[in-house]
Structure 1
Amino acid sequence: MRLPCKEAVRTSILSKKWRYHWCRITELNLDSRLWETKMDKLYPTVKFTKIIYQILSLHEGPITKFSLDIAALKSCPNIDNFIHFLSRNDIQQLVLELPWGKMYNLPFSLFTFSLLSHLTIHNCVIHSPSDFQGFDKLISLKLCDVTIPPELLGSLISQCPLLDNLELEISEDSLSDVIEINAPKLRSFDFTGNITFICLMNVPLLAEVSLSLYQGSSMEADNFFFAMFFESCTALERLFLHFNGSEIEPEDDDEVAMRLPFDVNCVKYLYLRFLILEESYDLSHVLCCIRSFPYLEYLEIQLPVKYVMMFLRL
């Protein structure tokens, strides 16, 4: 159980008794270490397909955790059969890190994993079948650089009644400017990308939020709907704002509000990352937040390296 998959398979040479012990391990973590050697002569995709088929054809019993990392491949091989195979097991945790480039269309069989509790997906296109009823046991969902219709994303989130942790890393042009989140059990939300409005419809337990906004995101107290955002977060205690080193260009007539229309009494911890001190516009937003958090207990500001060097010289 503690060995890398490649080493676990190698135990089959110890004796006849050990030959098939590895076939009953319940956790499979498959990555390039399985097929990469110093003297590679076959194209990686060919070796990958052969090795994975051998592992899955010999495996016996349930697989509770399956992790597949093939991000280094130039293209994504057909993994529909692998996912269909996993759908017949008691899979609880699934991680798929797929190659960049042409996006892979996930098969509908993924949505039949009735015992799934943790799901992480990188680099693919997601469409669900019309009769999808949700993941009843899912508590953690992480989507990175996926292409998914916004209404499907909202529906997927709302159909996971136990969802506790949500991470979204959305690249440009892969989603609209509005995300609706209805998750009554959600406690942690991490968003990275370009967005105008995040609608938190039902998040009474949400205690920690991290927003890493790319250049072009609307961070104004009015345009980003900060008031509506915080009004829905009645349990929010920790707020992370990551500026990504981007410089927001305000319009000439833009003015940042001095404070939100109401006090946000629940926020106690505020973390500001990569704040650009020259940008008075950014600083105004920071001050607007601080003024609106009267019970703030902890403030951490992370500056770019150039500011740290400047302070050291002083």
Structure 2
Amino acid sequence: RLVLNATGPWVDHLRKMEDPNAAPSIRLSKGAHLVLKRTSPWKAALATPIDKYRITFALPWEDMLLLGTTDEEFEGDPADVAVNDKDVTQILDEAAFSIRDQQLSRDLITYSFAGLRVLPGGPGDTSKAKRETVVTEGSGGMLSVAGGKWTTFRHIGRTVMNKLAALPGRPLADDMEPIAQLPKKLPLPGIANPNAVAHRLLVDGGTPGPRMAPETARHLATHYGSLSFDIARLANDDPALAERIHPDAPEIWAQVAYARDNEWAETVDDVLRRRTTLTIRGLDTEDVRAKVKDMLEG
């Protein structure tokens, strides 16, 4: 009875399918990031102003260094967004204002990625545009939502649900209690103190199997929270799943089984790039990829 268009950078593509004369509601800004191996210990998050509107940042992440970001208008096919040499040069040059040169060698780059910010339509530089949510209703009744930030996704969802509930004759208006009456604070799955989870994994995680390595316990605790115990049980039941996927990363094979059976992972990249850090670390070797493929198909 209602089409909700929440397609991110493709939102105006769908709006034009509904109404070829629909005016643009958003514009796109490309942001690129680099991940580098560290050359020395790094614990603090560092932000360096570039101009009145932009900063460059350096963040310790997964024992590596995350650098970024760029901000430039993007007008191509959203499916084609990618990091190019210009992006790499800009990120490294801007990072050089506050980071030593030896940490910024291109040889240290293990991964790069780019995404598109969906911003309200309007004139001016994208770096000056507000990160607001845009909600529009088309001539055919389709409701479109775009913009905002990952950190406000719950607020965006609530905004859309309230809008749906207010539409006359819509299912939510007739069949459901007002969304505003729902609890505003609901815990995310697995939410727990990571230090407490890691401690319990170290104490109990090896029973009855081999003792879990501290770096693996910490990795599981910070990525899965209390769901880590489900993964630990898999490793305890099958010692092969307690082995590391790659010796230079903390992930274990139980995470692959968990991703396959509980997180809808279907492809090798689903596991290595989207549910573990192997690809981002530059450790998705052909041998690792083949073994993950066998586990997914088995």
Smaller-chain TM-score bracket: under 0.3
Higher helix fraction (1 or 2): 2
| TM value normalised by structure 1 | 0.24
Higher strand fraction (1 or 2): 1
